[in-house]
Amino acid sequence: EAGVTQSPRYAVLQEGQAVSFWCDPISGHDTLYWYQQPRDQGPQLLVYFRDEAVIDNSQLPSDRFSAVRPKGTNSTLKIQSAKQGDTATYLCASSTGDTLYFGSGTRLTVL
């Protein structure tokens, strides 16, 4: 069974640039999560979906971050105008129950 796939693995930007992260969850998993993990911290939930619906995006900086999951399968997280404080690893996870399965993450550096 294929795991959660994320791309790209790395991204380096200047402040003000835009970037998108892509996630392909495990087939059949209805719930998809995006987490932000700054260096030396634990993952922090940004947004999660059940099928195509956003269930909770209260921690998503809505002025610059957006996330979609239009067909209830793959998902894209976008940062419109990156800041140095966005430097972190962005993790995608999927589940059908209480166990989350994580991808390898995208490590973002904003210069």
The DSSP symbol for 81 reads: S
Residue 69, classified by CB atoms within 10 Å of its CB into exposed (0-12), middle (13-18) or buried (19+), is buried
40 binds another protein (CB under 8 A): yes
The nearest distance, CB 81 to another protein, in angstroms, is 26
Q: Which of 76, 70, 79, 78 is nearest to 22 (CA)?
A: 76
56 binds another protein (CB under 8 A): yes
109 binds another protein (CB under 8 A): no
14 vs 40, which CB is nearer to another protein? Answer: 40
Binder among 13, 21, 25, 43 for another protein (CB under 8 A): 43
